[in-house]
Structure 1
Amino acid sequence: MSGYLSAAEALPTAPRRVLIAGVTGSGKTTFARRLASAWDLHHVEIDALFHGPDWTPRPEFLHDVEAFAAEDRWVTEWQYTSKGTDRFLPPRAQLVVWLDYPYRVVRSRLLRRTLGRSILRTEMYNGNVERPIWRLLATRDPDENILAWQTKTLGHWDERMPEYAERFPHLTIVRLRHPREAEAWLARASTGSAS
């Protein structure tokens, strides 16, 4: 679709509510944090709202999503669409930044992140840590293996973004095809020249 803005194009307005889209491993959370800092937005890490202790889904997840979506200024990762977040997030968002990177980039990022977190037993949210490496090697179940999940969902945004653009015509969508484009766009955003 030709309606997406590129890294070099100016935004039509100064957005206050932003969704960061992209496959697992594209760096949505890091990008969202950086954009929140640049634009003084409240960053809500949606994984932390979804996962309770022991990776158990939190029953209040959608209530929490609805509550922050009603706020005036926020940025979050566009995830859990199958869990109902589309009822609240795209209708309220003004901007989508789509991190549409090549497979080799997202795969290498996910491998580094997963291995690092697993080896260091890094706590992420609500007491959860990355599953041990042996569990990744023992299964190809996408619900148990983040690498298999990435493979399963690689084409999600290519398939769905045109539909989202049609369903939510108020959204401005910026498509960034490489981390270099993302860095250039963030640099402009940080100086206030992205809008």
Structure 2
Amino acid sequence: MERILVVGATGAGKSTLARALSGRLGVPYHEMDALYFDGPGWAVNGRLAEDVARVAAGPRWIVDSLGYPEVRDLLWGRAGTVVWLDYPKRVIMPRVLRRSVRRTVTREDLFGGNRETWRGWLSREHPAWWAWSQHGSRRREIERRVRDPRFAPLDVHRFGHPDDAAAWLASVGRPWQES
């Protein structure tokens, strides 16, 4: 596994699994939201396509996202492995709600110095709303992409429950240690 996409709905645990997989394999991890948002007010990185192209051109990487539309095909065209966290809403929603409450209460710094706010909970762009409303369409998009011959051959690991993903992760490589 050299070029890995970790995909799934908002709140599935993509970043957590990607970070752990990076540690086990020693493959550089790139957080897509950190590439996408680059400033206060949730400003979008005007050089996103260039930055992602640079990552995708590398021989080894892990990216934790289906990919934003402007770079989606680029990532999928270079990936060799897809790890799909295909969890139902009943698993995802408690996770995303806990994470958003924690981030809001602690005023955790996120991408580009942004924070989740109580006012933000009223927006359709809020992660909780996004996870609920985009779950089905995100799942269909990933299903379509893993079957798309343009992106073949892909080594796809699809997990319907966090326990299955955790067992697979435990079986992958050995914890990476710097020499």
Length-normalised TM-score, structure 1 = 0.83
Query: Cα RMSD (Å) of the superposition?
Result: 1.5
2:51 aligned with 1:70? no
Aligned length: 172
Q: 1:169 matched to which residue of 2?
A: 152
Measure, in 1, the Cα distance between the counterparts of 2:68 and 2:119: 29
Measure, in 1, the Cα distance between the counterparts of 2:156 and 2:137: 16
Length-normalised TM-score, structure 2 = 0.90
Asked whether the 8 Å contact 1:43–1:76 carries over to 2, the reply is yes
11, 26, 31: which is aligned to 2:17?
A: 31
Superposition pairs for residues 1-195 of structure 1, below 5 Å? 15-54=1-40, 55-82=42-69, 84-130=70-116, 132-136=117-121, 139=122, 141-143=123-125, 145-164=126-145, 165-166=147-148, 167-191=150-174
Deviation at 1:159, TM superposition (A): 1.2
Deviation at 1:85, TM superposition (A): 1.3
Measure, in 2, the Cα distance between the counterparts of 1:148 and 1:53: 23
Asked whether the 8 Å contact 1:32–1:75 carries over to 2, the reply is yes
Measure, in 1, the Cα distance between the counterparts of 2:86 and 2:19: 18
Gaps of 5+ in 2: none
Deviation at 1:173, TM superposition (A): 1.1
Deviation at 1:112, TM superposition (A): 0.6
Measure, in 2, the Cα distance between the counterparts of 1:120 and 1:51: 20
Measure, in 1, the Cα distance between the counterparts of 2:127 and 2:102: 14
Measure, in 2, the Cα distance between the counterparts of 1:80 and 1:68: 13
Deviation at 1:172, TM superposition (A): 1.3
Measure, in 2, the Cα distance between the counterparts of 1:134 and 1:42: 35
Measure, in 2, the Cα distance between the counterparts of 1:79 and 1:29: 12
Matching residue's letter, 1:159: R
Measure, in 2, the Cα distance between the counterparts of 1:153 and 1:135: 17
